[in-house]
Amino acid sequence: MHKTKESIVNPYYDFDINLLDCKFLGEGHNGIVYLLPDGNVIKICFNIKSFIGEYLILQRVNGNKYFPRIYEVGENYMIREYVEGDVLPKYIRKHGFNDELGKNIIELLKEFKILKFTKIDLRCKDIFVQPNGDLKVIDPKKFYTKDRDFPRHLSKGMYKLKILDSFLEVLKEEDPTLFDDWMPKIINYIKELKC
């Protein structure tokens, strides 16, 4: 059984949203997501601390091409843009990895620096590859509060997907300085995983 109310009252629609009329999209540790009749989504959050953290990130980057727009926030819910496509692992299983995807991931991580994130990392399952190949990040966590100067979780996910070496080849070609900075950290982290 999902931890939701049957309806949510909010001024966005000027009427109650009956969740029974909405398509269930998914549930995680911190919330549950439904597709609304207008094509946006509502995320109802269980953990208020995580909800506030996610909201503050999305509010700060609202309008950035890599993140869904938020339209309304209530006490324990947010209405935001629907993100089409497949999560990165599913996309790679269906289509494989290619240089273009690698370049897009590198550009995403560089954007994190431009946005002054202190955490230059995310999980593979938080990256959606849209039908046109663009990337979007869902469920942003601790980007301004955690210090991590290389993509540790992302490297772990890529290692499990058996594409880490291919990604690093693209990184070396596209940005040798970033490659030189990240490579020793990634190698050490992967060694720890194997132990």
Measured in residues, the chain has a length of 195
C-beta separation of 150 from 187 below 8 A: no
pLDDT at 8 over 90: no
| Count of CB atoms situated within 10 Å of the CB of 162 | 10
Q: Which structural domains are found in the chain, ordered by start?
A: 7-80 (3.30.200.20), 86-194 (1.10.510)
pTM of the model: 0.88
**What are the b/e assignments for 66-103, b being 16+ CB within 10 Å?**
bbbebeebeeebbbbbebebbbbbebbeeeebeeebbe
Q: Kindly report which listed range (29-38, 86-95, 104-113, 181-190) carries the lowest average pLDDT score.
A: 29-38
Query: Percent of the chain beyond pLDDT 90?
Result: 79
- Using 50, 70 and 90 to split pLDDT, how confident is the model at 188? very high
